[in-house]
A and B are shown apart, each in its own frame.
Chain A
């Protein structure tokens, strides 16, 4: 054990420094998350454990700790080593998804969780990391004939399709962000724009089909647009106090109440009116408690991640694999953040996406930690002079 720690330490000092901006941004976001979740979870805690808010805070801090530890650990592991096992990882993740699906069939309910020894685990979070990792590897391998549809794009499509099928049907928003990450990566890997557009078009058609098939999803879109578009939906659902329109409006109220500087830490009232304020609407809570400045601060943090990820890490990556992975992972993290913010301020229909590093939620926090870790590892190996 001591040997292992010593070995890790030696390795840490032997490595070149990681990107400081990304590290600090993640740390700051996590700290903000702890404070915001502590406030936002009050109502939920009141209802579910008789007001024991500290219990939930402790759980969140523990998860943040694990995620940061994972980030640190991954920043030490060479991403090329990881790439070698990427196929195994993806197959394993898909296997877990399949198990969850089957379990869901048995219990006749939508299942996204695996419980191992009392700890819930969401395989879709593992799958999106594994998929991006493996697609990055695939694209790197096929750089020689990257414009060929059948030899390079088709295999990518097959894996993406498989993952989307297993993740996607219930968790459309996760799939969508995942596909966008893949598209960004493919585009950067010089896959033909026409082919990507075709894929994107196909994805849109499929998504539209899914939306139409599922009344509650259609209703979300309807309530967002504010018009009764589809016959299949229940008008009541749209108008429901607890429905999607209600949630979006409550989130906007949070922004309005916050004003420029906010109502102050822990003084949110909208946490009592927003469903899952500690998760799906944490951005709105921050906007209420810290005002416009708080909201801009969060956006700035994700913007910083975006620029650092693309301009410092992806562009300066030592090899194409590094560039592709940096692009994919940065896109994934940042898109989660932007979509979450967009949902909060009513720009997008209500989806249940967490704000990376801030929201309360174990597996997604871990997945983000891992992705940030890989980013940091790539940043360690940048060749600023390799021009």
Chain B
């Protein structure tokens, strides 16, 4: 065998060996396909795909006129992957710039990056606004991750804060309506199939499955923003004027149970809820129990009148203004002697009320307290409502009957008290208060409408009429004259309760309250004002009643039927509001006012409320009152009696009007 042949043979040997290699490879590939194929394919498809959630937008909260109280705005979270090439060089400059942008120290962000939990991601700033976001993006720092999200904005700050509540950092409801209606507001997030690579970067997938999010529902409230603002203003002002530490006011439509406004002071701004204390965020209107004092006497009166233990005209002997029951002395503010039961209520005589209560069977008194809803929550659509405490007769001590008759040894919440008064106002029916009138989908279609819900009939119409009568006296010449509104019958009751501190009653911790409604005979608004620990006054009639009055006065312009009625009442000289200086003019020369402008201020003549009346000869004050109620903007030139009006009488109602006077 020569060398050449040997070489050739060896070439064949090497060739054969090498030629076997691809066969092995082919076998291996075949093995992958046949044995592992399905599993590997599944993994490949699963890892390259990802579901990206499309967040659902939280529903808005609107007032009864569709005015937005809580809305969503776009915010941006800024994250960072510090391992991306090119970040390290810019890191220091970036920290400094970010610190300047957010008003925090650059070190804070340096620290965050250094102590981050995951190697490739760290959250730096939450909640950048649109402008800050574009600034950050202009820096063009590699590794930045900007994620948009919806943020909750309460467009009017503190307005209706306790009603609306607030949300947490992930948009979940934490208090108020935001919590109670969270499931409706939240909606259902959608999803979108996307492509993903090994760095977790997301790319759009053409033809990928997409499930659109179901946007959250919007709530339309029973609250009117303007009235709410007026109520908050007056409550705040009143509480400050009295040097009180807190206050609560609730207004309700006594015919339906719709809450028209609800406020507490101190209050908070739900846009920055975390910055406030628990005390400021608490909705006292539904969570605070207090001993109501005299405002509770209506329960005693209702029981006594309806079960014929007494009539309004029956004389009750209140003696020298004090009486002893089971060793405890009960006092009145002054000695009233023998007075009719009607006056017992209007003068708020404790002795007289207790005297009547002595005649009532314990079971009956308890039954009325229970029927007025004090042993149950009102089931208002807010979270965290407290229940009143009314002891059963079997648990009563010897003093309970008399104490309870004047509002001690019981505890109620403001909303319970107002709901009970509404029952008296509307003719005897206890209603379930509510705040949400409608739920709408995000396109504005109504999905659900609230229906006023009757809990039970508590008293007869007749008893209601009698009680209203008595409570009207309270305002007209009783303890609450400060609550009175000119030309309008108001019914209500004051309460002055000493609160306990360390187990004994102290004067410094008074709860001054007034609960009432107007107009007394055709109620439109029931209103409760409760002031805690006032320092400049003590009695409900001095502290709470004036606040009631100012709120009511401001609200009248938004209640056209009520203010119309007022004007008609003012025109009639035989009504008991005739002493109002605005209605001093007599109706005697009503006919002559049409022919020539009279010298003396005349009564406003309204024959058809849809056309403009003749204001000439009428006082500007009266004219403005009427126009305000119609929502017409008035410009005044001069004061006193109107001599000229810019739009002729009998014309259709204009948007604006100028009145000239001497």
Among B13, B14, B45, point to the contact of A331 (Cβ < 8 A): B14
**A190 and B6 contact, CB distance less than 8 A:** yes
Query: Known contacts A272-B48, A347-B25: does B11 contact A253 (CB below 8 Å)?
Result: no
**A338 and B22 contact, CB distance less than 8 A:** yes
Query: Known contacts A272-B198, A306-B18, A327-B14: does B26 contact A189 (CB below 8 Å)?
Result: no
**B19 and A303 contact, CB distance less than 8 A:** yes
A270 to B197, CA, bound (A): 8
User: Counting CB contacts under 8 A, is B73 at the interface?
Assistant: no
Q: Please, which residue of chain A has its CB at the minimum distance from the CB of B196?
A: A272
User: Counting CB contacts under 8 A, is A346 at the interface?
Assistant: yes
Chain A residues whose C-beta falls within 8 Å of the C-beta of B8 in the assembled complex: 315
Q: Decide if the interface of chain A is mainly helix, strand, loop or mixed.
A: helix
Chain A residues whose C-beta falls within 8 Å of the C-beta of B450 in the assembled complex: none
User: Counting CB contacts under 8 A, is A218 at the interface?
Assistant: no
Interface segment among A3-11, A57-65, A110-118, A291-299: the answer is: A291-299
User: Counting CB contacts under 8 A, is A27 at the interface?
Assistant: no
Q: Please, which residue of chain B has its CB at the minimum distance from the CB of A291?
A: B33
**A311 and B15 contact, CB distance less than 8 A:** yes
Among A187, A252, A306, point to the contact of B10 (Cβ < 8 A): A187
**A314 and B11 contact, CB distance less than 8 A:** yes
Chain B residues whose C-beta falls within 8 Å of the C-beta of A296 in the assembled complex: 26
**A269 and B44 contact, CB distance less than 8 A:** yes
Interface 0/1 of A314-332, CB less than 8 Å to B: 1100001001000100010
Among B13, B29, B41, B199, point to the contact of A257 (Cβ < 8 A): B41
B253 smallest CB distance to A (angstroms): 63
Chain A residues whose C-beta falls within 8 Å of the C-beta of B199 in the assembled complex: 47
Chain B residues whose C-beta falls within 8 Å of the C-beta of A292 in the assembled complex: 29, 33
User: Counting CB contacts under 8 A, is B43 at the interface?
Assistant: yes
Chain B residues whose C-beta falls within 8 Å of the C-beta of A342 in the assembled complex: 21, 24-25, 28
User: Counting CB contacts under 8 A, is A72 at the interface?
Assistant: no
Would you list which residues of chain A between 34 and 73 have a CB under 8 Å from chain B? 43, 47-48
Among B22, B28, B43, point to the contact of A346 (Cβ < 8 A): B28
**A255 and B32 contact, CB distance less than 8 A:** yes
Would you list which residues of chain B between 1 and 58 have a CB under 8 Å from chain A? 3, 6-8, 10-15, 18-19, 21-22, 24-26, 28-29, 32-33, 36-38, 40-41, 43-45, 47-48
**A306 and B40 contact, CB distance less than 8 A:** no
Interface 0/1 of A248-272, CB less than 8 Å to B: 0100111111010000000001101
User: Counting CB contacts under 8 A, is B195 at the interface?
Assistant: yes
Chain A residues whose C-beta falls within 8 Å of the C-beta of B38 in the assembled complex: 256
**A299 and B25 contact, CB distance less than 8 A:** yes
Would you list which residues of chain A between 322 and 358 have a CB under 8 Å from chain B? 323, 327, 331, 334-335, 338, 341-342, 345-347
B203 smallest CB distance to A (angstroms): 9
Chain B residues whose C-beta falls within 8 Å of the C-beta of A314 in the assembled complex: 11
**A188 and B41 contact, CB distance less than 8 A:** no
A296 to B25, CA, bound (A): 10
A143 to B3, CA, bound (A): 9
User: Counting CB contacts under 8 A, is A310 at the interface?
Assistant: yes
A256 smallest CB distance to B (angstroms): 4
Among A256, A306, A341, A347, point to the contact of B15 (Cβ < 8 A): A306
Q: Please, which residue of chain B has its CB at the minimum distance from the CB of A306?
A: B18
**B14 and A184 contact, CB distance less than 8 A:** yes
Among B10, B15, B32, B196, point to the contact of A307 (Cβ < 8 A): B15
B40 smallest CB distance to A (angstroms): 4
User: Counting CB contacts under 8 A, is A302 at the interface?
Assistant: yes
A308 to B361, CA, bound (A): 120
Query: Known contacts A292-B29, A345-B25, A347-B24: does B14 contact A256 (CB below 8 Å)?
Result: no
**B18 and A256 contact, CB distance less than 8 A:** no
**B11 and A272 contact, CB distance less than 8 A:** no
Chain B residues whose C-beta falls within 8 Å of the C-beta of A126 in the assembled complex: none
Q: Please, which residue of chain A has its CB at the minimum distance from the CB of B20?
A: A338
Interface 0/1 of B137-160, CB less than 8 Å to A: 000000000000000000000000
Q: Please, which residue of chain B has its CB at the minimum distance from the CB of A143?
A: B3
**B32 and A346 contact, CB distance less than 8 A:** yes
Q: Please, which residue of chain A has its CB at the minimum distance from the CB of B30?
A: A292
**A310 and B21 contact, CB distance less than 8 A:** no
Among A189, A303, A310, A323, point to the contact of B22 (Cβ < 8 A): A303
A43 to B48, CA, bound (A): 13
Among A48, A253, A334, point to the contact of B41 (Cβ < 8 A): A253
User: Counting CB contacts under 8 A, is A273 at the interface?
Assistant: yes
B204 smallest CB distance to A (angstroms): 14
**A315 and B11 contact, CB distance less than 8 A:** yes
A43 to B195, CA, bound (A): 13
A191 smallest CB distance to B (angstroms): 10
A27 smallest CB distance to B (angstroms): 21
**A43 and B197 contact, CB distance less than 8 A:** yes
A303 to B48, CA, bound (A): 34
User: Counting CB contacts under 8 A, is A287 at the interface?
Assistant: yes
A248 smallest CB distance to B (angstroms): 11
**A269 and B32 contact, CB distance less than 8 A:** no
**A323 and B44 contact, CB distance less than 8 A:** no
**A295 and B11 contact, CB distance less than 8 A:** no
Query: Known contacts A253-B44, A256-B41: does B29 contact A310 (CB below 8 Å)?
Result: no
Among B29, B41, B47, B197, point to the contact of A345 (Cβ < 8 A): B29
Query: Known contacts A256-B41, A269-B48: does B18 contact A334 (CB below 8 Å)?
Result: yes
**A347 and B14 contact, CB distance less than 8 A:** no
A81 to B29, CA, bound (A): 43
A-B contact pairs, 29 of them (CB 8 A): A43-B197, A187-B13, A187-B14, A189-B7, A252-B32, A253-B44, A255-B33, A256-B33, A256-B40, A269-B44, A272-B195, A272-B196, A273-B197, A273-B198, A299-B26, A303-B19, A306-B15, A306-B19, A307-B15, A314-B11, A315-B8, A315-B11, A323-B11, A331-B18, A341-B25, A345-B28, A345-B29, A345-B32, A347-B25
Q: Nearest 10 pairs between A and B by C-beta?
A: A272-B197, A256-B40, A253-B44, A310-B15, A269-B48, A338-B21, A273-B198, A253-B40, A256-B37, A188-B10
- A residues with CB within 8 A of B: 43, 47-48, 143, 184, 187-190, 242, 249, 252-257, 259, 269-270, 272-273, 287, 292, 295-296, 299, 302-303, 306-307, 310-311, 314-315, 320, 323, 327, 331, 334-335, 338, 341-342, 345-347
Supply 19 further A-B pairs (C-beta < 8 A) apart from A273-B48, A273-B198, A299-B26: A187-B10, A187-B14, A188-B11, A190-B3, A249-B40, A252-B36, A256-B36, A257-B41, A257-B45, A272-B198, A287-B29, A292-B29, A299-B25, A303-B22, A310-B14, A314-B11, A315-B8, A323-B11, A345-B25
